[in-house]
Structure 1
């Protein structure tokens, strides 16, 4: 994304701007979000960018390439995302009473009745297309190991914005810096740019190319399936599912102990460490051992061992992962050594 010329704005301290960002709230917005990712991940054998129908294809798609989405939000419980990729459209929308998921390529739609909204909190856009949600995850990592400064101003989506830069001081993370373009009127993050510790090109960039903070009309969130589309209506849950607070490998908004004990589910993620050095562990991962794509993928990975056991390290300029022989996966925006240190602390 290319920003416009730097506007002249009143001076503001990093502490003042940070406080305004953390308390920013709007009743609605709509616009176009563009995201790009180049995490340097090795290709998964047998999976191409167009294989979005498989889980591995969706993962590859999310972690690489460029994507565009039209988004809208209205408090307290209305949200819509229309993802435009490969001449196809995927829509996720809710008007507070019903929710739709539509895939034009498959000509399929799923409709759910939304359980009664009891929390009083607004719905959230899917985080991969919500610059504010992505920004909050990085803001949660701020601690004494983070340098925070206002590095200038810029125009994003035609709006004047301050540039709030977060620079980790620890060498345990692969993140070099995170810059938030903060709207000078609403203090909502308009764009997030993540630079790796090595290299000058952004590893991740997500932001608005156009945005309006007017509350969208109610009919923005309704959906009528096109003629001929197959509609299914699974049984709705009795309660609203909890929205994950963070993405794997990124800081959570809640203060965490050094090790968060897993729940009853065998594969429930466990977070080890805090802030920039946090690592996510998943247990009970079974490798096929049949020479399939995942086995081919790991065949080229470096073998490592330590007090935690044996396994293989998959490295990139941003995301690293340790896959142990006993079925555990450790991953995060951290160095390979940090992963092994986390494995040594982790419960079996």
Structure 2
């Protein structure tokens, strides 16, 4: 057991049903991973999140607070979430960043791809973003990312899902086949990655890591989005993990996580800070989940033919990915877990082969610019570091990834040689 110690968005952050959902071309939007997953803030979050005095709440133990969170059945809410991420992703040659690999400028290629959710995820891996969220049970959700008077929205309403990118004025629409159950068709709910950028989803993932490798305590009280909350503090005992602590502000009334802060062991700004700035637990109005494509928008229907074409295009890639993941191994436990993936020998750019014409040296120089070269009993490779997740890519094609330090990765590679 863990050791326990004693359409249209109104100015107030909520959807206004009285306002039209149409957007003008002046409302252009530049929208925001995820990491293993995910995902996902800084400690200098906006003043709106600052505590106005710690509330005096009844004493509660960590076990009781975790139980309160587990028993929370909040399915209806609306509000505004501020998420700031600072993974410390390295820059690519030429000054580009990894977040540039996600969405961004460009047309939709004629197939609605600029409105596809996966094109937006990488932009959430850095910087600050404002999200408007609403939920009315499992059949209705809405997430909008609002920046620079523009938006990217995902709306799930019954059997329909809409994705809208105001920057390109592109819309992607899908309808679940008749008789399809929620488990049979993923389009009946919002994409998992975009659902998991709220304090509730971050908290679920953190609580899954609580075991005897973790210290858990209630560390006082606070106020978030005008609501009284307890602060749950989660601290790994491990010396090797890069995670310093996880702090979750839990609504004192209904047990809903209101704020999530992940701080690295190295200190400084938080890696992830997601918090409600406004929240209302009343049932959102039905019009919140209505969507009508704006005038002039290019609407792409995600038809069975289109999905079939996508499946055919990605079929070989998908098979290769499945084959690669079939060799995935996990070593270590808890916060010290390291994922190992073995690729074909000599597949990395840093592994020159006979007759490669110097390509190996060029590839090695490229990797040198991104990561740090390391050696050990396993041979040689490169470590690519962020403020939280590190990865070791060996010259013979093995990959070791975890929220652990460089020495732990090298030790894992030495043991696996």
What TM bracket, shorter-length normalisation? Answer: 0.7 to 0.9
Give the Å deviation of 1:118: 4.4
Question: What CA RMSD, in Å, does the superposition of the two structures yield over aligned residues?
Answer: 3.4
Give the Å deviation of 1:319: 2.2
- 1:334 correspondence with 2:404: yes
For 2:371, the equivalent position in structure 1 comes to 301
Q: Is the 8 A contact 2:348 2:396 kept in 1?
A: no
| C-alpha distance in structure 2 between counterparts of 1:100 and 1:176, whole Å | 39
Give the Å deviation of 1:277: 1.9
| C-alpha distance in structure 1 between counterparts of 2:325 and 2:68, whole Å | 38
- 1:53 correspondence with 2:117: no
Query: What TM-score, normalized by structure 2, do the two folds share?
Result: 0.68
For 2:181, the equivalent position in structure 1 comes to 117
- Helix, strand or coil at the partner of 1:90: strand
- Helix, strand or coil at the partner of 1:129: coil
Picking from 197, 206, 210, the partner of 1:129 is 197
Give the Å deviation of 1:83: 0.4
- 1:186 correspondence with 2:257: no
- Figure out how many residues of one structure are paired with residues of the other and give that number: 324
| C-alpha distance in structure 1 between counterparts of 2:227 and 2:364, whole Å | 45
1:143-292 counterparts in 2 under 5 A?
A: 143-236=211-304, 264-267=322-325, 270=328, 272=330, 273-281=332-340
| C-alpha distance in structure 1 between counterparts of 2:137 and 2:383, whole Å | 44
Q: Is the 8 A contact 1:287 1:295 kept in 2?
A: no
Q: Is the 8 A contact 2:170 2:298 kept in 1?
A: yes
Picking from 155, 158, 172, the partner of 1:93 is 155
| C-alpha distance in structure 2 between counterparts of 1:337 and 1:70, whole Å | 41
Q: Is the 8 A contact 1:270 1:282 kept in 2?
A: yes
Picking from 49, 56, 70, the partner of 1:8 is 56
Aligned CA distance change for structure 1 residues 114 and 56 (closer, same or farther; 3 Å)? closer
Query: What TM-score, normalized by structure 1, do the two folds share?
Result: 0.81
For 1:255, the equivalent position in structure 2 comes to none
| Range with bigger deviation, 34-43 or 300-309 | 300-309
Give the Å deviation of 1:343: 4.0
| C-alpha distance in structure 1 between counterparts of 2:251 and 2:287, whole Å | 27
| Range with bigger deviation, 60-69 or 179-188 | 60-69
| C-alpha distance in structure 2 between counterparts of 1:51 and 1:264, whole Å | 23
| Range with bigger deviation, 121-130 or 141-150 | 121-130
| C-alpha distance in structure 2 between counterparts of 1:42 and 1:228, whole Å | 39
Aligned CA distance change for structure 1 residues 187 and 56 (closer, same or farther; 3 Å)? closer
Give the Å deviation of 1:82: 0.4
| C-alpha distance in structure 1 between counterparts of 2:363 and 2:54, whole Å | 47
For 1:26, the equivalent position in structure 2 comes to 74
Give the Å deviation of 1:73: 1.0
Task: Give structure 1 stretches of 5+ with no counterpart.
Answer: 239-261
| C-alpha distance in structure 2 between counterparts of 1:269 and 1:31, whole Å | 42
